[in-house]
Amino acid sequence: MSTPTEPPPSYDDVQQPLLAASNQTRPIPSPRGPPPPRLPLPLNLPALVALRGKRVVLASKSPRRRLLLAQIGLTNVDIVPSQFPEDLPKSLSPFEYVLQTATNKALEVYRREIDNPEKGGLALIIAADTIIISHSGHILEKPRNEVDHIGMLKMLRDEGQHRVCTAVAVMAPLENAVDPGYALETHVEETMVKFDANVTDDLIIAYVKTRDGADKAGGYGIQSAGSILIERIEGSYDNVVGMPLRPTLGLIEKVMLPDDELDEFARSDEE
């Protein structure tokens, strides 16, 4: 069998035909099936109350991040994917790399959307970036193609454990003209993930064929079939999914309500 001379196609090249084919073979769900689960009532917190009826932008097309925000009551989110090229030099430390990427994502969307007459007032921008830091210190993002995907997962298995780092940047435009015109808060969350050393090459290849991890940093999804590769984690689960909710809520509170406004809200709520 001859060795192919051409590189394997990238996931970007094959993703649309695969989606089209899967849509043709996927059965149509019965209209009599169970109703979708109801979301819980929104959290009655000052910062979230202040956002009701206002435009909240998620600078990402990740459906996982959108679902995570819905868990704290931000269900009416405007999706505006950032156009920041994400090409910062890998010579940066991993924390600086992921933090600068998330911050630049937020800034790029802010500059495009702050004066957008068609969308109305902008109240909040939430941006995030997730990377994998291998045990040997390499920064891993999304796999480029199937061969890269298989090699990435084998490396993560063979090295034993790795770190998942997600940086979140939250921005709120200021009503006054004080430079730079917005409040910005950031946070970097880290979670340790250990792959099962007994995961076989066949299992890795079978998982890669599902395309489940093709659009995810590190090439796997903990919330889906990728969980079969994982022995344990230490730290935040939703950080591995793509956005640590607890610190994200804290950033929203910082940019939406200064301390004096927060105290005033609490006093009025007690009266």
Enzyme catalytic residues: 129
Unique residue bearing structure tokens 């990728």: 226
Cα–Cα nearest to 42, from 79, 75, 77, 78: 75
The two three-digit tokens of residue 237, written as one number: 């689960």
Those residues whose C-beta lies under 8 Å from the C-beta of residue 78, and which sit 6 or more positions away, are 55, 56, 57, 58, 119
User: CA 124, CA 127: separation in Å to the nearest integer?
Assistant: 10
Q: Which amino acid is at 265?
A: F
